[in-house]
Amino acid sequence: MTWTIPDAVAALRRGDLVILPTETVYGLAADAGNAEAVARIFAAKGRPRFNPLIGHVDSVEAAARVGVMTAMGEALADRFWPGPVTLVLPVREGSRVCELARAGLDSVAVRVPGHPVARAALEAFGGPVVAPSANRSGRPSPTTFDDAVEETGGAAAVALDGGPCAVGLESTVVSLLGDRPRLLRPGSITREQLEVVVGPLEADGAEGHRSPGRLSLHYAPDAPVRIEAEEARPGEILLGFGPGVGDPRWSLSASGDLTEAAARLFRLLREADREQPAGIAIAPLPQTGLGEAINDRIRRAAGFVG
């Protein structure tokens, strides 16, 4: 069955869950103000309730209705929204992002997604929607419609097909709760791009800063993951990077392009896992620029704190 945006909006208003495409990954969406619907997301994903969710809205004005938008937040929004940057802001009194979605915090994570289907659904719905990745908690995030439906389609009343996700990594998360901005989760918008707008980012690690996607074992396939691998061991599949590294079928990017590697990482982890290998080895990738975000996901897939 082909679902439409009006179908999705009606489901959200009923308190049902919806599979929603974004430019980053597919999300499992619910009305951010409906605590019962939000609870269904945690149940469907098996997600710990201390892990806050991101509120997705259709405009900067809508973001300012759920969080207190600072001058620095406005500068980042002006530069990167719509797009894959999430801002963590002080929660605004009367915010439509419920306490359960915020994991009990007095802050709220919010972004304006860039995918046209997500934007159209949010505009038609007229309020914030939480939409964590449409996978079971800890698994690789789905970047195709089929993978999203395979993971959590049974929990969703409606599933919108928006094609393959262009970015392939979850959004960059920036906290604006302190005197200086803090990078909580790297993403396709890099540290260097952020610092052009807001200046140096503080080092992460302060207490009280919680963000999605920060569990030590996260984005993990069933097969064990080995990082910084120069070659495959018996029974392993090697996800290569760069010219001549491993089987081209399993290359994150044969040309060494980090943007291509980001878009392919979760899909190849899932495809390799279906082969039931003894393990999945991943070749070294640069640590700079977009490589910071890719390596963060790889380390967590292997069970290392990033």
pLDDT tens by residue, 73-101: 999 999 999 999 999 999 999 999 999 99
Amino acid identity, position 174: V
Q: Do 225-301 and 5-198 have the same topology in CATH?
A: no
pTM: 0.91
The reported pLDDT for the residue numbered 126 is 97
The reported pLDDT for the residue numbered 210 is 55
Cα distances (Å, whole numbers) of residue 294 to 48, 55, 252, 257: 23, 23, 11, 12
Examine residue 84 and say whether the peptide bond preceding it is cis (omega within 30 degrees of 0): no
Share of the chain above pLDDT 70, in %: 94
Report the top-level CATH class of 5-198.
Answer: alpha beta
Domain coordinates in residue numbering, the chain: 5-198, 225-301
Going by DSSP bridges, is the β-strand pair 129-130/27-31 parallel, antiparallel, or unpaired? antiparallel
**How does 49-66 read in b/e, with b if 16+ C-beta sit within 10 Å?**
eebbbbbbbbebebbbbb
**How does 163-192 read in b/e, with b if 16+ C-beta sit within 10 Å?**
eebbbbbbbbbbbbbeeebbbbbbbbbbbe
Tokens at 83, concatenated: 């797009």
Model confidence pLDDT, tens digit, residues 60-70: 999 999 999 99
The reported pLDDT for the residue numbered 206 is 44
Average pLDDT over residues 170-185: 94
The reported pLDDT for the residue numbered 212 is 57
Average pLDDT over residues 90-118: 96
Q: Where are the alpha helices (DSSP H) in the chain?
A: 5-14, 35-45, 60-66, 71-80, 116-125, 145-152, 191-198, 258-274, 291-301
The reported pLDDT for the residue numbered 292 is 95
In 3D space, the residue among 21, 32, 33, 27 whose CA is nearest the CA of residue 45 turns out to be: 27
Share of the chain above pLDDT 90, in %: 88
Domain 225-301 has CATH 3.40.50.11030: yes
The reported pLDDT for the residue numbered 46 is 87
Average pLDDT over residues 104-118: 97
Band (pLDDT 50/70/90 cuts) for residue 241 is very high
